[in-house]
Amino acid sequence: MPDRYDTPSAQFIERKLSTILSADVAEFSRLMGEDEEQTLRTFRGHKKVFESLVAMHNGRIFNTAGDAILAEFASAVEAVRCATDIQAALRTRNDQLPANRQVRFRIGINLGDILIQGQDLMGDGVNVAARIQTAAEPGGVCISGTVHDQIRNKLSLSFQSLGEMNFKNIQQPVRTFSITDVEGSGPLPSRRPTAPAGGNSKWIAASVAALLLVGGGGFWAYTAHRNSSSGIANGAVPAPQPQPTPPAAALPSADKTEPAPQPAVEPAPAGGTQPAKAAITKSTAAPTQAVADLPRKPSALSAPIATTVNSGTQNGVYSGPICFAEAPKDPARCFHGEGTASGGKLSGRWPMGKETGVFMNMTGSIDSSGGVKIEMHSIAPDGRVINNINLSGTLENGLLTATGSFKMGRAVTLDWHKN
C-alpha cells in the first residue's frame, strides 16, 4: 500500500510575493519583416543593456521567449527604477536609428502572489504583469495599482490613472497607471484614459448647469406667482421684486471692452485651484524650484524659463547608467555611475564591477549654455590607466546626457538624473 504522502495531491507547491517586470518589443513582426538581420542585431544590443540594468537593480531574468523578457524583483521600487532606467538607456540608443527602425520595448510591472517551479515563475502575478504591459505605449511603462501603492511616496514620478482595465483571461479588473514623467529623465510615452479629460465631464457640467438654470428660473417664477397671488387675495398691490444686483466691483466691467480685474474670481495663490489640479497627476515629491516659485513671484511668468537652466540649481550629485556598446570581444553592458556638478565642473569616481578592483575616474566642464565635455579613464588596481573615454552632451533641467566613445571607437552613452 503506497504511503499517502507520496500521492500527487500532497505535493507541496511553493508560493511567494514578488514584483514581476514584463517587456516585449513593439511592432517586432514588422521590424523583422522589413529587415531581419538589422532588427536582430539591434535587439541583441538592447537586450544586453536590459540584462545589465536588471542585474544592477538586484533583479533576475527568469524567462525569455522571442522578443519577450520576464524579470523578478524583491522590491517594487527597484523594479520601477529599473524600468525607467531601461527606457532612458534604450531611448539614447534608439535616437541613433531612423524612426521606423527603432526597437522600443513596452514594459508592465505587477506586484502579486506567484508560483515557483524550479527557476521559472508562473500564476496570476505573472499573467497580470504581461497583460498590463500591453497597455503601455512603445518606450513607456505601465504599473498595476499594487505597485503604485508601494512606490507613490518613494519615487519622484508622475502618473496617469487609466482606471480599472479589463484584460484577456484576467478575471478581475486591474487598477492601471501609466508613468508619464520621471524627474531628471523627462517624459515617457504614455497612454491616456479612454474618456479624455474635458470630454464627458464638460458635457456633464454643462447639463448640470442647464438643469440648475432651468430649475432656478422655475422656482423664482413659482415664488413670484405665489407672492403675487397672496397679495391680490389680501387686497394689497404687490411691490415690484428687486432684481439681484451684481457685486459693485463687477459692474464697470460689463460696459468695457477689456474685462476688469474681478477679485471674486481671482486665481488663488499657492495651494489654490491650479496647484491642486497639478497634484492629481504628480507624486508627492517636492516640485522643482522654478515651479515652486511661480505662485509667489508673479513677475517670473514674463521671464524665459530657459534662464534657470544653467543656474546654480544645476549643482548637485547626478547618477545613473553608463553603457558600453557591444565590441567584438565584449558584450554590451551598463554600469552605475555617479558624479558631482559644481561651479561649472564635473567630477566623479566609482567602481567598475564589484570584484574587478577597477575604478572609473571622471572630469569635465559645463559651459554657460549647458554644454558638457567629459573625459573618463579607468584605473587598474596597480594604478595603470586602462582606457580613455571622451563624451559630449548637455546638462539641462536635472538631466545629464552625453555620448562618446573609447579611443578604439567603442560607443559609450551616459544618461544620469539629479539625485
Q: Which residue ranges make up each domain of the chain? A: 13-187, 312-418
pLDDT at 69: 96
pLDDT at 251: 40
- The two beta strands, 399-406 and 385-396, are antiparallel
| Lowest mean per-residue pLDDT among 67-81, 118-132, 338-352 | 338-352
pLDDT at 49: 94
Question: Looking at per-residue confidence, does 184 or 416 come out higher?
Answer: 416
Q: Would you state the CATH architecture of domain 312-418?
A: Beta Barrel (2.40)
**Residue 73 contacts residue 97 (beta carbons within 8 Å):** no
3-state secondary structure of 66: coil
At 107, the pLDDT band (50, 70, 90 cuts) reads very high
Nearest Cα neighbor of 286 from 297, 301, 275, 298 is: 275
Nearest Cα neighbor of 399 from 318, 324, 316, 345 is: 318
Nearest Cα neighbor of 70 from 130, 18, 22, 118 is: 22
Cα 43 to chain center, whole Å? Answer: 23
At 373, the pLDDT band (50, 70, 90 cuts) reads very high
3-state secondary structure of 141: strand
Nearest Cα neighbor of 83 from 177, 166, 192, 194 is: 177
**Residue 57 contacts residue 82 (beta carbons within 8 Å):** yes
3-state secondary structure of 273: helix
**Residue 16 contacts residue 114 (beta carbons within 8 Å):** yes
- Mean pLDDT score of the chain: 76
Q: Does residue 297 register a pLDDT over 60?
A: no
Give the pLDDT mean for 356-360: 78
**Residue 273 contacts residue 279 (beta carbons within 8 Å):** no
Q: Does residue 229 register a pLDDT over 90?
A: no
Give the pLDDT mean for 99-123: 94
pLDDT at 242: 52
At 31, the pLDDT band (50, 70, 90 cuts) reads very high
Task: Please give the grid coordinates belonging to residue 179.
Answer: 508613468
Residue pLDDT, tens place only, 309-344: 444 678 888 888 888 887 776 777 787 888 899 888
For 13-187, which CATH superfamily applies? Nucleotide cyclase, GGDEF domain (3.30.70.1230)
Burial grade of 394 (CB within 10 A; 0-12, 13-18, 19 or more): middle
Helix ranges (DSSP H) in 57-106: 76-94
**Residue 360 contacts residue 376 (beta carbons within 8 Å):** yes
296: Cα within 13 Å, side-chain hemisphere: 5
What is this structure's pTM?
0.53
pLDDT at 369: 86
Residue pLDDT, tens place only, 41-56: 999 999 999 999 999 9
**Residue 335 contacts residue 322 (beta carbons within 8 Å):** yes
Q: Does residue 347 register a pLDDT over 50?
A: yes
| Lowest mean per-residue pLDDT among 308-317, 353-362, 370-379 | 308-317
Question: What's the rounded Cα separation, in Å, for the pair 256 and 350?
Answer: 66
Report the 10 Å Cβ neighbour count for 310.
18
pLDDT at 312: 60
